[in-house]
Each structure stands twice: as structure tokens, then as C-alpha cells.
Chains A and B, each alone.
Chain A
Amino acid sequence: MTNHWVDIRNADVILVMGGNAAEAHPVGFRWVTEAKEHNNATLMVVDPRFTRTASVADYYAPIRTGTDITFLGGLIKYLIDNDRIQREYVLNYTDAALLVDEAFGFEDGLFDGYDESRRSYAKENWRYQTGADGFVLRDDTLRHPRCVFQLMRAHYDAYTPEMVSSICGTPVDRMLHVWEQMASTATEDRTLTILYALGWTQHSIGAQIIRTAGMVQLLLGNIGLPGGGVNALRGHSNIQGLTDLGLLSNQLPGYIAAPAATEQSLASFLDARRKMPTVADQVSYWQHMDAFFISLMKAWYGERAQADNDWCYGWLPKLTQPLYDVLDTFERMSRGEIYGYFCQGFNPLAAIPDKNKVSKALAKLKYLVSIDPLNTETAEFWRNAGEFNDVDPSEIQTEVFRLPANSFAEDEGSIVNSARWLQWHYVAADGPGESMPDTHIIGALFHRVRELYAREGGAFPDPILNLAWDYKQPERPEADEIAREFNGRALADIRDPNGVLVRRAGEQLSGFAELRDDGSTLSGCWVFAGAWTEQGNQMANRDNSDPYGNGQTLGWAWAWPANRRILYNRAAARPDGTPWAPRKALIWWNEAQSRWVGADVPDFPANSPPALGQMPFIMNPEGVGHLFAGQSMNDGPFPTHYEPFESPVPEGNLLFPRKEKVKNNPAARIFDADRAMLGDWQEFPHAATTYRLTEHFHYWTKHSHLNAVVQPEQFVEIGEALGNELGIRAGDWVKVSSRRGYIRAVAVVTKRIRAITVGGRIVHQVGIPIHWGFLGQARKGFLANTLTPSVGDANTQTPEYKSFLVKVEKDDADHGGER
């Protein structure tokens, strides 16, 4: 979230799209209710289903799954055509006026530089024009044909209400109503918040859907203000923390991209990541990359990391492909190229698309280790559970270990909520039996491996033998020791540019501004610097006071970065430093004190006067928000409509009809084996989407008695029209098939999920809740990922769980035994 849960109460208009917060985040959703009740806010829901959130909304508009870019792209056109943009914000705080390279172009659904054989773009022309001084050129009239504003206008020119309606299936009047409400926040005293979740991420165009939302919010001037922002409602309790800590193949802690094989020298690695200002005087905070990275190397390799050995840069593994994501890993596993796999609190048999593929892949492993508080389907993938898991254990030669981990209640440490708050929790009891905290399991396992390498030698032992490991008990690193390490400390006295001592050797750092690039500081995750300072554990803070009465409780827990609660909050003030409107005041320039003050920690140099002209988007080299994404996205600088890989539209992409190449995202990777498993609309005519229920959390709560009681049995949701067509009544059994497999479940026939008209044709939609499996307290059911296709987003490889094709049939088989 750019903003946070409580701040939703400051919104005037709330759009929930690509999520169902009332169902999936019910307690966070209370702040939506609060905004409606006490801020006269309007809640609108755009969703394929009339969801629980829609049921309490002021307005609902249906949409076909996977067409959100089109809906929001149409809105961009609407805002421009009707001059409903926050002009002063757009001109000063976005790149609208910046000029783009003459060679950049877009034609017939493709940007320039496309290589069909590699399904990727060269990207070299996706950049701004620069002048002789090296800075970006601009045209403040916004009339220059190469300025971002004009290119954006041209890009969305075809997204007329009629075109959008024919693609999305949203009636024109409903669409215009939603657009008008959103446009009402282009004024200085109103804000719109956008709340989304996996309904936006789990598409082959997912990252670009979210970018489109960011563009809309920049045009409306809603980023950085109370009640504004683009707010990801993340799925799991610490998925934000694991993202911040970079537990992804292509990331290091603190959003530092992991080194590629082509980056053989430390200099080349740092040069590619150190971002110097491209507009005069801008902050461009990534210019401090050297300090972030070298402090990380000091945290990992301690005394061994020195300037003369490039801080042990050579010890880091280098990537020979952009990502080693789970789709790639399971593809390689299915080809027998992976021998071992660790699943720590993760159930890939249920979580990775195409369960049958995943099952066959796991059977090719030599060893599998599940570290989990619970038994999981993955740990028991070899067990025959009849139709739910039809395998023969005697044929599966994988050696499987199952290690008992403690649950949250038996564990100490911090987790990061969606609002970037690091909240500390304490041990309430020992875990059952011989279970241990994850930190001890990993610590003990690493210690054993290290002993083996010390005793026997082996392949490249240096990073193993020299990993900094000064925990008091090497097999049992404790949470406080680790938290102090990721915060960081001074290894020598730290002085500011004037020679004034700011931190003594051995002291905890107070924030990332104290990081140095000369090896005199260590910090395992620079964005977390400030979490455990000389004043102690800031994450355990419990002062819930709200001195400005606008929901910014700075004394509760600790938010990264630097305890800021609303990102880019400099944008909550005009260029001259005064709030846009009194009711939207957050931080402002205090001339007498010569600094930024207010209800939040300024996301800005605290003493930078407005007259200096530094702009709010301090992580971007231009200081402004990006309507034009430059080279940061794999599938183009402007989001574009492409159909899901399994699309119910015979004509393909209605924006570019009969152009097979751009029917789906041309930059999305798909393996040949997975492409062969895609179904077409003739055989599988129904558009399906997966979703979650308020009584359940993923595949965990089916192990919890209470949740199993209140929502015991698997079902699928179909509309009345489809029910009538197929002779299916509520409570009947249905078989739902995709090209990859089938599930059987009870049908819930509702008015909530309706047929939709796309390109003049009726398309039925099907909802598939995900929470059942062959283990647990609830009734046995099928893993829903049996149905879903193995293809991911072009940038993130997040699987396309939200848009695929199935066939629904009435199932007359006898299910008495299983029920």
C-alpha cells in the first residue's frame, strides 16, 4: 500500500477492483465503512462477480475477468478528453511534460523493438530525450507531439466507451458512472483510493493493470495524499516482509536486483543500479546504492568483505536467465532437472498452476523437505487420496522429510502488514512436540552444512565457510539478534560531511541515511534501517495516539521507510509547500522552522525548501511520477489490452482484430509444454476465475475445526442463466473441466455471477473458490489449481489464476461415499 488501512477513512471515493476486501480483508475493510459513514465516501466495485464488497457498495459495475486495463485505459481517455485531470499536479509531479525518444513507437498492438522468436522487446528507445546537459527535455505546454502526455493520449485514443464496453462487457452507462465518480477527485480537496488484491496480480497482464491504476491516480493527483494512493491488499501476513527482504530469485534485500551473469564486475553491477538525477537538483535516492549494497555485504560476509575483494561480490550467485520463478522451476523439475526442493510454509501442490503437472514434477525429485506447522498436500503428494490425488506411492521414489515448525503463537519476531508496518509479536507457548521456530531450523541446518564443508571441503565453500554467523548459539539464532542485524550498526565511528560524529562504532543505526559505502556500516536490509535503533525495538512500539486526528499513528509499530505512513507524501502539498486543501493536509513546509512538518514523517529531505524545486517522487531520477514506464516493464511503457491466454473471445483482441500475434501479451513467457495444455473457447466455453471466502485462508484453515465447520464443503458458483442452460440447480453436483484436469463440486447457482456480453456474444462466467484439498478437518475436495493454466505475467511470472476457460457439466455420479 502507498497509504495504509486506517488512512482509507480519509478517502472521498473508494474503488475496489481486482479484489474483494469485505470478504478477504474484513477487518481492514472496516475503514471503508468508516469512510462511508463519517467522510461521506462513495464506494464502487468493479468485478466479474457481485461480491460481498459489492453488496455494501454504492455502485457496482460488472466486468469480464482480465480486461481491467481496457476499463482503466478508457478512463484515461475520458479524463483527458473531458479535462478532468489535476493539472498543477500532473504538470509538476508527473512526467507528462517530458519528451520521449523519437524512435519510440507503437503500432498494431506492438511497441518498437519486438523480437517474436524471443517474445521480448529490445526496449532501447523506451526512454526520454535528453539535452546537451544530460538532463531530460520537457515541454510545459504539453502540446509537443513527443511529450508523454500526447503519446499517452494517442495510445488510449481507441479506448472509447463503446470499444471498452465491447471488450469488458460492462454496460456503457455503468462504466461512465464509475468514471465520473473517479473523475470527481481531480479537484484539490477530494481523493480517491484504489484497493486491489490478487484479482489484479494473477493475470498475464497483471503488473500492467496495476500500472494503469497508478497512471489514473497520477492524473487525478491522488498519490501522496491522505485517502489516496494505489493500495495493494496483500495476501499473507508477511508476504510484504518477504518481498521487502527480497526472497525472490531475482532480488536481494531492499529492492536491489540480484546480479546477472553479464554483470561480472562490482562496478558494472553498481553502475546499473545507481540512479543519478536526470533532472537538475532532484533527490534520486537510488544514487546511494553503493552504501545500501556494501552494507549488505558487510552484514553477510563481515570482516571478509573488504574494498580490495569487491566486498565479496564474486560470492553472490549470478543469474543466467532473468528469473528462476516457480513456473520455470516446475517446468525444469518436470523435465527432471531439479533434484531437491524445500517448501518452508508453502504448499506448491496446491499453489502452483496445473496440479497434475506439479504432482508429476515432484515425483521426479530425489528429495523434498517440507518445513511447516501443518501437514500439507505437498508433503503428502505421494499419498493416494482417490480421485482427489490419484497417484501410486510405490512408483514415487522421492524421499520426503517433514519438519515441524512453530506457528505464530509460538514464535517471536516481526511481520510486515500490507501498510508496511513492522509489528513485533511474542511467544505465548511452546509449540507441540518437538517443533521449532523457523530461525532455529534454518540455523541448525546451515550449521550442519557448514560443518560438512569445513570437514570435507567441496564445491566453492567460501561463502558457506565465511558467512557472518556471530549468533550467540550458532544453531539457534534468536529473533532479536537477527532484527538488529537487518537494521544495521556502525562498524566504525560515522561522521557527517562536516565531520560531526553521528554514530559511534558498535551502535545501532537510526536509519538508512547513516549507511556508508566504505565498509564502516552493516545493514542486512536498508529499507528496514530504523527498526531496531539505539532506542530499542521500534517494531514493538504501542503508542496508538493520533495527534492530528487523521489516522497517522506514528507511535504504533514502525513502518518502512523511516516510519513514513504515506509514501510520496511531499505530493500532499503544492509545489510552494502549502497543502492542496486544508482537509487533505498531511505535511507542509514551515518557513519559520525551515523544515517540513505535519502528521507524517516527510518522505522527502526534511530541510529541502520548496524554492529548490525538488519533486516528490524521490526514488525516480526525474523526481516525478511515471506515466511513461520507460524500460522498467517488459511489455511496454504504456499498458495495453491483451486477452488472457485462454480467452472466450473468438475474434481475439478486439482492439487489434485478426492480429494473432497480439491476441495475448506478446512479451509473456509460456513454455511449449504449457502452451500445448491451453484450451480453446469451442471446447471450454466458460470464463472462469478463482477466488477466496471469508471463512477460509488459503489451504490453512481447512485444518482448523471452527473454519471447517462454518464452511465445510467445496463448491463452484455459476449464474442462473448457465444453470438454466445446463439444467443445473443449486445443490446439484457439477464437473468442471479445463484442458488440464477436472474437479467435481456442489453447484451454487446465484444471481451474483452473471452472463456477460462480449463482442456481441454471451459469455458465462464461473467462480471457483480455492480452499479445499485432500487433507484437513473440512470435507475432502479437489485442489482448484487442477484447472488453472501454467502461464504468468510478463514481468513477475505471477500465474494467470483469474482468467481461464472451463466447461461446466452436470455431474450425475453418486457422491454419497465422499460426502
Chain B
Amino acid sequence: MSIRVTRRGFFKLGAAGVASSSMAMMGFAPEAAAASVRQFKLTHTRETRNICTYCSVGCGVLIYSRGDAAKNAHQQIIHIEGDPDHPVSRGALCPKGAGLLDYVKSPSRLRFPEVREPGTSEWKRISWDEALTRIARHIKTDRDANFVTTDEQGNTVNHWATTGFLAASASSNESGYLTHKVVRSLGMVAFDNQARV
């Protein structure tokens, strides 16, 4: 006997705890299945909808994580796959997107604020408070010293050209909008994003 089992239905069968008898129904040899019953990887995971961070196709992705998101119970991402409902990608991911989990888990991910002091050749971990305090002071010192009120023609320009800012092309619109609001209001003009290059 054979029945059509969709992939998602297959998970449901697993999640419901149906073991050897259903496995047999799906065409698996009962002995082999009974000998190696194990949890399906995605059982008890949380599914989160997201969008691939790489190119501009904007493929839908489903991110699977464990943990109940309660305080002190952190989610761990264990699997990322394409979103089959997405009208452009329809569940597909390319070789770049197929590696998304390894990007999230990359050993190159930064974990703490750090500083490399002038002339040295290593990073030193610092607190967020120290990092923000020191950077804010740099901003203020430079801005106060180099803010331009009028140009050579006597026009009011109110700008600050000695510190620049390059904005992230993969962060959200919300990040982009807030960044623009702040950067422009500080008077910065050397302001660009990846669209320039």
C-alpha cells in the first residue's frame, strides 16, 4: 500500500509520535525503522519567517530554532530552509542561501565590543558602556573642532565633513532610516552606502 505523504505531513506524523506502524505504511521496512527510531530534527522547533540576507531577489526563508523564548532560555538556530509559500522563490535557495546557517554560526561572528588601541596588534574586549562612551566622545571632539557654519562664499552650511559614515546594505529599512536621521542631524556629509559602489 502506498499513500501520498507531503513533507510537512511527514513531520506531523513524526511529531504525533507515530512510530513503526506509520513508517511501514509509508513504505519503510518496519524492522529497519523500528531499529533506529529517532527524533526528527525539526520536531519541537520554532519556525520563524525571514528573508535571505544576501542578494536582492529577497527569497523567503524559514528559520528553525529550539527553546521557548522565555527569559533566560535562548533560542538556538538549528536549520534554515526556503519558504515554499514565497511567490518568487517558492521554497528554493541558491548555493549562497543554502549556506545561511553557516553564516549565522560563523566563527567570524563578533560577540563583544572590542578595541584595537593605536600601534598595537591585538583586540581588547571592552564593555558596551566603554565603547559607546569613547566613541561618543570622539564624535563630539571632532564635530566641535571641525563643524563648518559658513562656507567661503558666506553661505550657511552647518555641516561636518571630517567624519564619514558608510551604511549597511543588508540591515533593515528601520536601521537605515534611523541611521539617516541621526547622521544627517549630526551634520555629516561624507555619507554613503553600498549603492554607491
Contact = CB atoms under 8 A, between A and B. Distances in A.
Contact of A700 (B87, B88, B103, B147): B103
Contact of B57 (A367, A418, A449, A479): A418
B110 A706 contact: no
Interface stretch (B6-14, B16-24, B27-35, B165-173): B165-173
Contacts of A553: 87
A667 interface: no
Given A340-B163, A345-B171, A407-B53, A399 B193 contact: no
Interface in B161-197: 161-197
A262 interface: yes
Contacts of B123: 402
A766 interface: no
A329 to B, nearest CB: 4
Nearest to A443: B178
A703 B138 contact: no
Nearest to B84: A544
A414 B131 contact: no
Interface string A391-407: 00111111111111101
A768 to B, nearest CB: 16
A436 B112 CA distance: 10
A430 B75 contact: yes
A368 to B, nearest CB: 9
Contacts of B100: 409, 704
A480 to B, nearest CB: 8
A453 B60 CA distance: 43
A757 interface: no
A542 to B, nearest CB: 7
B151 to A, nearest CB: 5
Nearest to A449: B136
A316 interface: yes
B58 A26 contact: no
Contact of B121 (A382, A402, A453): A382
A438 B174 CA distance: 9
Interface in A1-30: 5-6, 24-28, 30
Contacts of A417: 51, 56-58, 88
A408 B100 CA distance: 10
Interface string B117-161: 111110100001001111111111011101101010101111111
A45 to B, nearest CB: 19
B57 A776 contact: no
A252 B184 CA distance: 9
Contacts of B186: 449, 463-464
A548 interface: no
B135 A27 contact: no
Interface in B31-64: 46, 48-60, 63
A365 to B, nearest CB: 9
A428 B50 contact: yes
A374 B173 contact: no
A317 B159 contact: yes
Nearest to B101: A706
A673 interface: no
Nearest to A249: B191
Interface in A279-312: 299-300
A407 B59 CA distance: 16
Interface in A479-524: 479, 482-483, 485-486, 524
Nearest to B115: A401
Most buried by B among A27, A352, A707: A27
A526 interface: no
A247 B191 contact: yes
B140 A449 contact: yes
Most buried by B among A397, A486, A528: A486
Nearest to B175: A438
A430 B106 CA distance: 15
B171 A344 contact: yes
Interface in B84-121: 85-90, 92-104, 106-121
A253 B196 CA distance: 16
B86 A419 contact: no
Interface stretch (A237-245, A587-595, A643-651): A237-245
A11 B192 CA distance: 35
B26 interface: no
A409 B61 CA distance: 10
Nearest to A466: B185
A560 to B, nearest CB: 10
A776 B108 contact: yes
B144 to A, nearest CB: 5
Nearest to B83: A542
6 contacts: A26-B95, A237-B54, A241-B172, A341-B164, A382-B116, A463-B186
- List the 4 closest pairs (A to B, CB-CB), nearest first: A345-B168, A433-B111, A413-B172, A417-B58
